C-alpha cells in the first residue's frame, strides 16, 4: 500500500499546476514555425515539467506499507541428557520426531529444533544434567513476540537441576512426549551428600549421606567415608520400610588444602545398578576465619547491611561492638584479635569510640571508615584517617557512580548498571580533601551532575589499607536493589570485594599464576591465568610459562605457552577427570626462575546416573497445566494429527517506510523524459 503525504495544504498543489500551466501558455502563446498540434503538445510537456518541479519543492513523502505474514512456529525441544540414552531408543525417537517435523512443515508451519542447551541442528544424548525449567524458559524467551504455536517436549520427566518445570509460568501449550522406562527397579541410590565446603583445621565437621531404597525392604545398608583408600568412618543401618535413609558422619578436618572424600554404599546382591552407589565430596580445609569487627557509636541500619554481606562468607567471623548498647569484652576488641575493622560514624562526638579507633589505626589494622551524621569530622585527620573536612553543618544527598578508571576489583558489568540506579545517601557538605594517591571506587553524583568528589575510596599508608565511605545510608542501596531484582547480588559483590581487598595483604611477587576459579567441571576447560611484571609492577608480555600439573595419584603433565596482551595471558587445559590438581607454574625473569604454586578442583557432572526411572506424571501435569497434551513415544502420529488439525493462523506484521518523493529514481527519470521529449520535439519541428 502506497500513499503520498504532504506537509502543506492541497491548495498548494493546485497553485503548482496553475503556475506550470501559466508558464507554458506564456512560453508557447507566440507564433512558431511548427503546427498547432505540436505547439499544444510542447505546452503540455512544459506545463507538466514545471508543475512537477514545483510540486517536488513542497517535499512530498511517499509512505509505503508492507505486510509480512509470519507462519506459526512449533519448537521440538529434546531432552538430550544421558538418562534418556540409557533407557530409550534415541535413534528411533529422533526419527519419529523428524517425521512429525516434516508433516508440520507440509502443513505450512515453521519447525525449530532445540535441546536443553539451546537451539541445535544436531542432537546427541550426552548432557550430564537436566534442567527442564531453564530450557523451557529459554525457548519461550527466544520466541518472544513471534507466532509460537506450541512446544513439543520429548523427555523422560527427570530433572536434577533448577526448579520443577511445573512452577514455571508458561504461556504456550506444551505437548509432552514421554520416553524412557517407568518401571521401578530394585536399587540402592546415593541420592545426595550434604556437607560444608569450607571447614577449619582442627575442627570437626558434619557430613550427611542420603540413601534412597527402592524395592528392597528390610535391607541392611552400609555407608563408608574413605580417604585415599582408608576408611575414616562407617555406619550400618537397616532400611526397614523407609525409602530414604540418612547417614550422619562427624569427621576431623586435618591437613590444609582441598581434601577428597569418597562416600561409598556397600553393594546389595540384587541391585539393578551399581553406578549410583558412590559419590565424592571435596572439602577445603583452611587455617582459620578472619575476624571482622564492626565498631559503631550507635545502632544504625547500615550495620545490618554490612552484617548481611559478611555472614554469607564462611571465611569471616563477625563481631559487633556498639558503644553503650552492645559492648564486647576487652579481649575481643583488642587490635590483636581483629583482622578487619569497620568503623561506623567514628570518631563520634561523645568520644565513646575515638580511643578504640586510634588503637586500631596505630596497630595498622585494615580499616573501613563510614562517615555519617554523628562522625566528628574535624577529628578524622587527627585520628590518622586520610580525609580532611571543613564542615558547614549541612548535608547533601548524592548518588553513587562507579569510577570507570578503577579496574582493580574487577566488578561485573551487571553491577555497574545496578549501582547507577541506587538511591542517594547522605554526605557532609563543605570543603573536602583526600590524598592524591587515593584509589576512587565511587564518585558522587548530585542530580544529573557527576562530580570528581569521591564517595568511596581506598588509601595505602605505612603498610596499612584504609577505605573511606563518605556517607551513610547504604542500607537503602541493598533494599533498593532487592526491590528491583529480588536479589542483592551487586551490593554483595561491591562490599565483599571491598572488604576482601582491605583485609588482604598486597602480593608483591613479579610472577603470579592462578586458576580463574576455584572449581571447574569436567565438561569445560580449566583456565589458568599468568601475570608477569617488571620492576615498576607494570605487566609485561612475551614470557614463556611452563606449567606442571599433578593429579591425585601424582601423575604429572607438562604444558607451556607464551603470554600476550588480553586473553592470551590465559591457558586452557581440557579433558581433565574429576579430582584435585596441584600445579607449579614457572617463568624466567631476567635470568632468575620464578615459580607459583596452587591447587584447584575438577568436579564430574554426572547427575544423570542417579535415577533412570521416567516421571510421566510430571509431564502429564505440565501438559495439562498449559492446555497441551501428553503422548507416549508410540503416539507421535496422534501428536501430528492434533497439531495439524488446529488452524495455522499466521500473524500479519506491517512495516511502514517513508521515502521523500524527490529521492525516488522514477521521479528523476520522469523529469528527464519530459525534458528530453520537449527538446526532441522542438528539434524535430525545426527549432533549436
pLDDT 10s digits, 60-98: 887 877 777 778 889 999 988 877 776 778 888 888 899
Query: What is d(CA 69, CA 419) in angstroms, rounded to the nearest whole number?
Result: 43
Mean pLDDT of 533-557: 87
The pairing of beta strand 425-433 with beta strand 439-446: unpaired
Q: What is the pLDDT of residue 338?
A: 92
Identify each DSSP E strand in 239-325 by its residue range.
244-252, 257-265, 278-286, 290-296, 316-322
Mean pLDDT of 544-548: 93
Confidence of residue 1 (pLDDT cuts 50, 70, 90): low
Total length of the chain:
688
Mean pLDDT of 490-513: 84
Q: Looking at per-residue confidence, does 274 or 347 come out higher? A: 347
Cβ contacts of 71 within 8 Å, gap of 6 or more:
108, 109, 110, 147, 648, 650
Compute the 3-state secondary structure of the chain and give helix, strand, coil in percent, each to the nearest 5. Answer: 25, 40, 35
Confidence of residue 687 (pLDDT cuts 50, 70, 90): low
Mean pLDDT of 97-122: 87
Q: What is the pLDDT of residue 607?
A: 59
Q: What is the pLDDT of residue 610?
A: 60
Per-residue pLDDT tens over the stretch 400-440: 998 887 766 777 777 878 888 899 999 998 888 888 889 99
Mean pLDDT of 169-189: 84
The pairing of beta strand 556-562 with beta strand 544-550: antiparallel
Cβ contacts of 388 within 8 Å, gap of 6 or more:
380, 381, 432, 433, 434
Q: What is the pLDDT of residue 611?
A: 65
Cell of residue 219, nine digits: 535391607
DSSP state of 613: B
Whether the per-residue pLDDT at 181 is higher than 90: the answer is no
Q: Looking at per-residue confidence, does 407 or 397 come out higher? A: 397
Mean pLDDT of 444-472: 90
Q: What is the pLDDT of residue 247?
A: 93
**Mean per-residue pLDDT over the chain, rounded:** 85
Q: How far is CA 137 from CA 206, 499, 559, 631, in A?
A: 37, 36, 41, 21
Mean pLDDT of 125-135: 82
Highest mean pLDDT among 32-41, 186-195, 616-625: 616-625
DSSP per-residue codes, 195-242: E-SEEETT-EEEEEEEEEEES-TT-EEEEEEEETTEEEEEEEEE-TT-
Long-range contacts of 492-495 (CB under 8 A, 24+ apart): 492/308, 492/309, 492/312, 493/411, 493/412, 493/415, 494/411, 494/415, 494/419, 495/305, 495/306, 495/309
Confidence of residue 603 (pLDDT cuts 50, 70, 90): confident
Confidence of residue 239 (pLDDT cuts 50, 70, 90): confident
Q: How far is CA 675 from the centre of its chain?
A: 64
Query: What is d(CA 255, CA 263) in angstroms, rounded to the nearest whole number?
Result: 19
Long-range contacts of 314-317 (CB under 8 A, 24+ apart): 314/196, 314/197, 314/198, 314/289, 315/198, 315/286, 315/289, 315/290, 316/289, 316/290, 316/291, 316/292, 316/499, 317/289, 317/290, 317/291, 317/292
Instruction: Specify whether the backbone of 129 is left (phi greater than 0), alpha (psi in -120 to 50) or beta.
Output: beta
Cell of residue 141, nine digits: 524467551
Query: What is d(CA 354, CA 295) in angstroms, rounded to the nearest whole number?
Result: 10
Query: What is d(CA 242, CA 220) in angstroms, rounded to the nearest whole number?
Result: 12
Q: What is the pLDDT of residue 477?
A: 94
Residue given cell 577428597 in the structure block: 260
Per-residue pLDDT tens over the stretch 646-656: 776 767 766 77
Q: Looking at per-residue confidence, does 474 or 272 come out higher? A: 474
Residue pair 307/296 in contact (Cβ under 8 Å)? The answer is: no
Q: What is the pLDDT of residue 444?
A: 92
Q: How many CB atoms lie within 10 A of CB 619?
A: 26
Mean pLDDT of 204-212: 89
Residue 593, beta-bridge partner list: 588
All structural domains of the chain: 2-66+657-684 (no CATH), 72-183+613-645 (3.40.50.410), 187-285 (2.60.40.10), 290-503 (3.40.50.880), 511-603 (2.60.40.10)
Residue pair 375/347 in contact (Cβ under 8 Å)? The answer is: yes
Whether the per-residue pLDDT at 45 is higher than 60: the answer is yes
Q: What is the pLDDT of residue 612?
A: 67
Mean pLDDT of 278-295: 84
| CA atoms in the 13 A half-sphere facing the CB of 258 | 19
Mean pLDDT of 128-144: 86
Whether the per-residue pLDDT at 564 is higher than 90: the answer is no
Confidence of residue 344 (pLDDT cuts 50, 70, 90): very high
Closest C-alpha among 348, 351, 403 to residue 370: 348
Q: What is the pLDDT of residue 119?
A: 85
Instruction: Specify whether the backbone of 656 is left (phi greater than 0), alpha (psi in -120 to 50) or beta.
Output: beta
Residue given cell 558547614 in the structure block: 392
Mean pLDDT of 576-584: 89
Amino acid at each position: 500500500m502506497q500513499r503520498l503525504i504532504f506537509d502543506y495544504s492541497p491548495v498548494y498543489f493546485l497553485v503548482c499546476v496553475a503556475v506550470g500551466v501559466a508558464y507554458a501558455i506564456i512560453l508557447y502563446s507566440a507564433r512558431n514555425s511548427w503546427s498547432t498540434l505540436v505547439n499544444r503538445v510542447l505546452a503540455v510537456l512544459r506545463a507538466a515539467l514545471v508543475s512537477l518541479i514545483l510540486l517536488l519543492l513542497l517535499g512530498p513523502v511517499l509512505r509505503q506499507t508492507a505486510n509480512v505474514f509470519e507462519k506459526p512456529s512449533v519448537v521440538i525441544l529434546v531432552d538430550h541428557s544421558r538418562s534418556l540414552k540409557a533407557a530409550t531408543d534415541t535413534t528411533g525417537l529422533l526419527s519419529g520426531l523428524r517425521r512429525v517435523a516434516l508433516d508440520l512443515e507440509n502443513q505450512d508451519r515453521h519447525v525449530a529444533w532445540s535441546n536443553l542447551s539451546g537451539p541445535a541442528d544436531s542432537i546427541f544424548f550426552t548432557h550430564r544434567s537436566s534442567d527442564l525449567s531453564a530450557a523451557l524458559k529459554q525457548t519461550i524467551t527466544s520466541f518472544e513476540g513471534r507466532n509460537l504455536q506450541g512446544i513439543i517436549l520429548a523427555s523422560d520427566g527427570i530433572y536434577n537441576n533448577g526448579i520443577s518445570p511445573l512452577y514455571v509460568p508458561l504461556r504456550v501449550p506444551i505437548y509432552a512426549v514421554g520416553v524412557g522406562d517407568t518401571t521401578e527397579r530394585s536399587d540402592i541410590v546415593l541420592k545426595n551428600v550434604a556437607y560444608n565446603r569450607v571447614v577449619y583445621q582442627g575442627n570437626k565437621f558434619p557430613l550427611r549421606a542420603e540413601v534412597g531404597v527402592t524395592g528392597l525392604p528390610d535391607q541392611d545398608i552400609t555407608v563408608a567415608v574413605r580417604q585415599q583408600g582408608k576408611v575414616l568412618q562407617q555406619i550400618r543401618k537397616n532400611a526397614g520400610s523407609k525409602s530414604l535413609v540418612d547417614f550422619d558422619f562427624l569427621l576431623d578436618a586435618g591437613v590444609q588444602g582441598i581434601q577428597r572424600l569418597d562416600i561409598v554404599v556397600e553393594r546389595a546382591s540384587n541391585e539393578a545398578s551399581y553406578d549410583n552407589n558412590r559419590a565424592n565430596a571435596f572439602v577445603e580445609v583452611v587455617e582459620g576465619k578472619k575476624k571482622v569487627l564492626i565498631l559503631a557509636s550507635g545502632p544504625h541500619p547500615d550495620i545490618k547491611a554490612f552484617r548481611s554481606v559478611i555472614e554469607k562468607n564462611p571465611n569471616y567471623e563477625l563481631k559487633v561492638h556498639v558503644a553503650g548498647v552492645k559492648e564486647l569484652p576487652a579481649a575481643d576488641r583488642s587490635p590483636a584479635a581483629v583482622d578487619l575493622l569497620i568503623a561506623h560514624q567514628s570518631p563520634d562526638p561523645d568520644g565513646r569510640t575515638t580511643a578504640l579507633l586510634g588503637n586500631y589505626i596505630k596497630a595498622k589494622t585494615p580499616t573501613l571508615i563510614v562517615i555519617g551524621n554523628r562522625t566528628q569530622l574535624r577529628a578524622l585527620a587527627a585520628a590518622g584517617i586520610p580525609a580532611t573536612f571543613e564542615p558547614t553543618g549541612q548535608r547533601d544527598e548524592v548518588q553513587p557512580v562507579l569510577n570507570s578508571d578503577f579496574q582493580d576489583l574487577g566488578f561485573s558489568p551487571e553491577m555497574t548498571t545496578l549501582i547507577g540506579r541506587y538511591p542517594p545517601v547522605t554526605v557532609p557538605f563543605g570543603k573536602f580533601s583526600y590524598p592524591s594517591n587515593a584509589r576512587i571506587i565511587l564518585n558522587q553524583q548530585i542530580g544529573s551532575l557527576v562530580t570528581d568528589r569521591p564517595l568511596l575510596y581506598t588509601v595505602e599508608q605505612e603498610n596499612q589499607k584504609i577505605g573511606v565511605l563518605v556517607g551513610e545510608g547504604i542500607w537503602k542501596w541493598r533494599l533498593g536493589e532487592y526491590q528491583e531484582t529480588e536479589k542483592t547480588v551487586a551490593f554483595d559483590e561491591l562490599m565483599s570485594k571491598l572488604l576482601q581487598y582491605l583485609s588482604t595483604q598486597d602480593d608483591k611477587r613479579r610472577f603470579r599464576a592462578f586458576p580463574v576459579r576455584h572449581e571447574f567441571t569436567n565438561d569445560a576447560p580449566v583456565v589458568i591465568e599468568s601475570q608477569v611484571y617488571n620492576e615498576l609492577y607494570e605487566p609485561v608480555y612475551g614470557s614463556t610459562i611452563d606449567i606442571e600439573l599433578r593429579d591425585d595419584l601424582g601423575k604429572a603433565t607438562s604444558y607451556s605457552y607464551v603470554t600476550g596482551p588480553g586473553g592470551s595471558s590465559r591457558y586452557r587445559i581440557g579433558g581433565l577427570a574429576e579430582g584435585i590438581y596441584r600445579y607449579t607454574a614457572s617463568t624466567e625473569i631476567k635470568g632468575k626462575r620464578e615459580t607459583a604454586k596452587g591447587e584447584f578442583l575438577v568436579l564430574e557432572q554426572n547427575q544423570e546416573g542417579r535415577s533412570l526411572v521416567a516421571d510421566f506424571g510430571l509431564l502429564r501435569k505440565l501438559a495439562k497445566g498449559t492446555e497441551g497434551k501428553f503422548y507416549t513415544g508410540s503416539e507421535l502420529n496422534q501428536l501430528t494429527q492434533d497439531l495439524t488439525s488446529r488452524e495455522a493462523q499466521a500473524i500479519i506484521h506491517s512495516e511502514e517506510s517513508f521515502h521523500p518523493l524527490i529521492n525516488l529514481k522514477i521521479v528523476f527519470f520522469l523529469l528527464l523524459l519530459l525534458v528530453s521529449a520537449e527538446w526532441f520535439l522542438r528539434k524535430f519541428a525545426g527549432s533549436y
